[in-house]
Chain A
Amino acid sequence: MTHNPFRQKTGGRIDRNSCVEFEFNGKRYSGYKGDTLASALLANGVFLNARSFKYHRPRGIMGASVEEPSCLVELLGADAGGNHAATTVQLRQGLKAKSVNCWPSPNFDLMSINQLFTRLLPAGFYYKTFMWPNWHLFEPSIRRAAGLAAAPGDQIPYQHFETRYWHGDVLVVGAGSSGLLAALIASRSGARVMIVDDHPHPGGCLRSSQSKIDGRPVIEWAEAVCAELDANPEVTRLQDATAWGYREDNLLMVTERSPAETHVFQRGWKARAGRVILATGAIERNLVFANNDLPGVMLASAVQIYYHEFGVIPGRQAMIFTNNSSAYSLAHDLQAAGKMIAGIIDSRSFEEIGAEKDGLEIPLYAANQLKAAHGGKHLRAVSIRAADGSIKRVDCDLLAVSGGWNPAVHLFSQARGTLAYDDALASFVPDKAMQRLACVGAAAGKMNLALAMANTLSTVTTCLSEDNFKPPAFSLPSCTTSPDYHLQPLWHVDGMKPGDKAFVDIQNDVTLDDIGLAMREGFDTVEHVKRYTTAGMGIDQGKIGNINVIGNIAMACNKRPDEIGTTTFRSPFTPVDFGSIAGQRNGATVLPFRHTPITQWNKDQGAVMYEAGARWQRPGYFPIVGGNMQDAINAEAEAVRYAVGVYDGSPLGKFDISGRDAAAFIDLLYTNDFADLEIGMGRYGIMLSDDGMILDDGVTFKLAENHYLMSTSTGFADVVFRHMEYLLQIECESWQVWITPVTSQWCNATICGPKARDVLEALGVSIDIGNDAFPFMAMREAIVAGTPARICRVSFTGEVSFEINVWPRHAEAMWRRIMEIGAPFGIVPVGSETSHVLRVEKGFLSLGHEVDETADPYDLGMDWIMSRTKTHAIGRRSVDIRRSSGKPRRELVGLIPKTGGELVPEGAPVTPNGDRAASEGFVSACVWSVVNKQIIALGLLTNGRARIGETISIRDRERVIEAVVTKPCFYDPKGKRLRG
């Protein structure tokens, strides 16, 4: 049984035969199919349903649509989502929601103690108070207290988010009378059209009016138009869908909240249109008086919507407070429904009030103002202030407020359009568009239905003609005229006292006092006021309050509102679930990993997998039974140093470079000479960026005349490719060089260690692999274990190494064969942790460790790599200029830290005497050396080479570690072993 004490017996467009059960803040209620969460709560008499953002004041529902500032809810369970206005949540069976700003409940909110301290919590309070020692210390608990909804933790069962693209000619935002007319004209012109509307049903604000189009109620006209649109396959019509972002080149972000497909929870559209028609209507604004945020105070238009749409009148005794003509239609509605109306307070003089008052038989307080609303957790009465200053108190439990209408220029402003102030509307209207768009109807400031329709017809026809469509002859529908819209600006009521809680921005809890305080403290432009008070920020984006902020600033400094200007409206227009932006790109599919053919084998061995850069998955280390990670790394490293190991070097970047000018191109890229490189041999090279810093390093083999195979570090392959393509396409246009990325075309197993040659022999190899026939840095084509392979003798470990490159389809078989044949030699697989240990022992540099785009080759002690004769290499000039200054540089050194066995964190700074002072270097790598049986490290140290033998101090948070400076090589400095 549905008990809805504030529901009318008849009327509204809900289905009284379908009862819908739902839960709000843990209590069960019921509503009807067609309700929103807000209308169902009001029908149940749940008026206190939120607490405010900062002061935790009691709040109720104020609006009926996207403008709702107060009642934000978190949806739970199957509807999981945060920060939705209750007015935009369609009621569904079993819906569970809770208020976002209160704990444990809106009726008993522990944080409401903030209200007692409101005098202590003015604008900027947090900025001023929580400065020492730093804001970040306090931020988490303040954010919790002020917080909006947490990210939902619940999974959505059986449904998923989806994204879709749309490309077309005309995108209409808003399916009110103007939007529908625009879509109708466009579709009849043969254009591909999308029309997007954030209400579940078309018709816009006129759904709640008595206006007629073509002699029919607006809803009937709207339904007829929609039927015609839906019959056209070129038209996409979305209801309950918000266009919340306007990007460059007419790209609109749209979230469809209730797609027809039941498996789709929400659908995000990226809609690109040749022309956008903004028929976004207007949003009613609030009036500023004391306690204008009490539950029971609502926008007049919202009350009308609740009555017409849902058959709900959320009060027994209504009062209306307005400064314009539009609120009178509510009075007529309530009078016709036979409801008690305590009166209508109009700040305009009796003479200014036009035909809108005709036929009303209720008290009219003309030239009066509402002084204050009274009540604790709900409105009980209002004080009315007459022109002579006398005060009259009238009981009421519903106050419908109208401060006039603001064209919804949010999307127009997001599209970088400029705004102009309209005196008659006392609001900002679209001025100059910066993209291919047009505003029509109320969004363009046309508040009268007949005028809006005429303006829409002419604007849309002009746009379509400009876009080479031929709009058919179209006769303007006849519209019943409503009384002319008339308004007298009222930025705040007279006679306010300091300390009155008169809110200009309800959602962000910004009062009139706060605006005054900000201006007294020198924040006297609208941008500063916004940032200092937070007015117009957040998910509200100034829907009902922004113009009041501007009006009040203007009043305070005695200027016109257009001299104050507006702040920029930001996207999203309404809160958006991240899921609808991401669609099905979530989890592992956002940035997919890259795998070599050995990944599965590695995982089968229990390897702990790391990312080796550029999303490549590589084993970090292979855990051993009865040992920890360091034991496992030591065992792998010892195998390489004293027997044999093998690692998967496939992710290393590889480029095949050929063409008439390939040799010249290699010479341009690398700082050292490649001209004398023989075919079949490779050479280590360093390439610089134009600023003379190291870009990448690697070995390049000469395969034939003007044909090279370049290897790069794993993580920088893409950067190197971009660098090379840039040079070839922009700077060396006439050169003939082709670059083919072959990283994934060659996989390699690198056998390394003193027994590497024995293993390769045992595998069966078709060539002589003795040191004379196949020296260090040579490459040979051969058949290895029956498989064609390229073998390279390079070494990143300091031991004899054979890099066996095969095609990917042979890689796994080759790997298994190596493990099988190598077993008697004690072969073990080696992960990247061990590679790191081995290269640190040798002092080989690693990008991202020693090289961080601030180092040049001299800093690393690699003077030999800077050619004496070749000065045109990229970056060379910059290095020479920088070094000619003679300023001290950070140089690569070895470090032996005295830690007693602990590793020093990479990145730890070196400071003079270990003081908390500017650093003179840092630790770039630190490992346990299996050959030296001690902790060793590499680091960059100011003038480091001159300081070998010195003891320096490393800071690790509060600890100071002493370390002896050495040469940056701890093993086989002459390189005899790797050449052996």
Chain B
Amino acid sequence: MLTLPCPFCGQRDETEFLNTGPTKPARPSSDVTDSEWINWLTVPVNPVGYVEEKWWHVKGCGKYFTIKRHTVTHQIKMPDEDSA
């Protein structure tokens, strides 16, 4: 069970959070093509390595926040940290 850095509450147990998936690119504007839209909708990133994710502190302060999590080691970094 991970611990996660909530920006308000600090380091807390994973059970307090909900992983809402990898960060999506910004919602496309209405003038994109259908295939661009479908691409945005259906293709998530799935790297072996660091993935930027949104977590929701649902059983805490209610804040959605962004972290980078390594999909193999579970190491966690802040989004502005170097992913190397």
Contacts and interface: CB of A to CB of B under 8 A. Distances in A.
Interface residues of B, number: 21
Contacts of A434: 73
Interface in A878-905: 878, 881, 884
A248 B1 contact: yes
Interface residues of A, number: 22
Given A690-B41, A729-B63, A249 B34 contact: no
B30 A871 contact: yes
A853 interface: no
Interface in B11-31: 14, 18, 20, 26-27, 30
Contacts of A731: 26-27
Given A722-B20, A722-B58, A730 B64 contact: yes
B49 to A, nearest CB: 14
A816 interface: no
A257 B27 CA distance: 54
Interface in A855-884: 871-872, 877-878, 881, 884
A453 interface: no
A691 interface: yes
A641 interface: no
Contacts of B84: none
B72 to A, nearest CB: 8
Nearest to B2: A248
A375 to B, nearest CB: 49
Contacts of B83: none
Contacts of A871: 30
A125 interface: no
A722 B73 contact: no
A249 B1 contact: yes
B54 interface: yes
Contact of B64 (A416, A690, A725): A725
A272 to B, nearest CB: 7
Contact of B56 (A272, A726, A872, A878): A726
Given A434-B73, A729-B64, A872-B30, A878 B1 contact: no
B42 to A, nearest CB: 8
Contacts of A188: none
Contacts of A881: 34, 37-38
Interface string B50-66: 00001010100011100
A691 B54 CA distance: 19
B3 interface: yes
A708 B13 CA distance: 35
B46 to A, nearest CB: 18
Contact of B3 (A272, A690, A725): A272
A731 B73 CA distance: 29
Nearest to B37: A877
A722 B64 CA distance: 10
A247 interface: yes
B18 A722 contact: yes
A249 B74 contact: yes
A416 B27 CA distance: 37
A877 B30 contact: yes
Contacts of A725: 56, 62, 64
A251 interface: yes
Contacts of A877: 30, 37
Contacts of A722: 18, 20, 56, 58
A878 B41 contact: yes
Contacts of B20: 722, 726
Nearest to A691: B41
Contacts of B41: 690-691, 878
Contacts of B73: 416, 434
Interface in A92-149: none
Nearest to A434: B73
A891 B63 CA distance: 39
Contacts of B2: 248-249
A658 B26 CA distance: 25
Contacts of B64: 725-726, 729-730
A270 B18 CA distance: 20
Interface in A881-939: 881, 884
A434 B74 CA distance: 9
A691 B24 CA distance: 14
A247 B64 CA distance: 24
A877 B3 CA distance: 38
A434 B3 CA distance: 15
A12 to B, nearest CB: 42
B74 A248 contact: yes
Interface string A721-764: 01001100111000000000000000000000000000000000
Interface string A244-265: 0001110100000000000000
B6 to A, nearest CB: 13
Contacts of B38: 881
B23 to A, nearest CB: 8
Give the most central of B2, B20, B62, B64: most A CB within 10 Å. Answer: B64
A690 B41 CA distance: 7
Contacts of B27: 731
A486 B46 CA distance: 48
B54 A730 contact: yes
B66 to A, nearest CB: 9
Give the most central of A270, A729, A877: most B CB within 10 Å. Answer: A877
Give the most central of A249, A691, A872, A884: most B CB within 10 Å. Answer: A249
A707 B27 CA distance: 26
A249 B63 contact: no
Contacts of A872: 30
Interface in A703-733: 722, 725-726, 729-731
Nearest to A165: B13
Nearest to A690: B41
Contact of A247 (B1, B30, B63): B1
A850 B19 CA distance: 28
A413 to B, nearest CB: 15
A204 to B, nearest CB: 29
Given A871-B30, A881-B37, 10 more contacts: A248-B14, A248-B74, A249-B74, A434-B73, A722-B20, A722-B56, A725-B64, A726-B54, A726-B64, A884-B34
The 7 closest A-B pairs by CB, nearest first: A729-B64, A248-B2, A247-B1, A249-B3, A251-B1, A248-B74, A881-B34
7 contacts: A249-B74, A272-B3, A726-B56, A726-B64, A729-B63, A731-B26, A877-B37
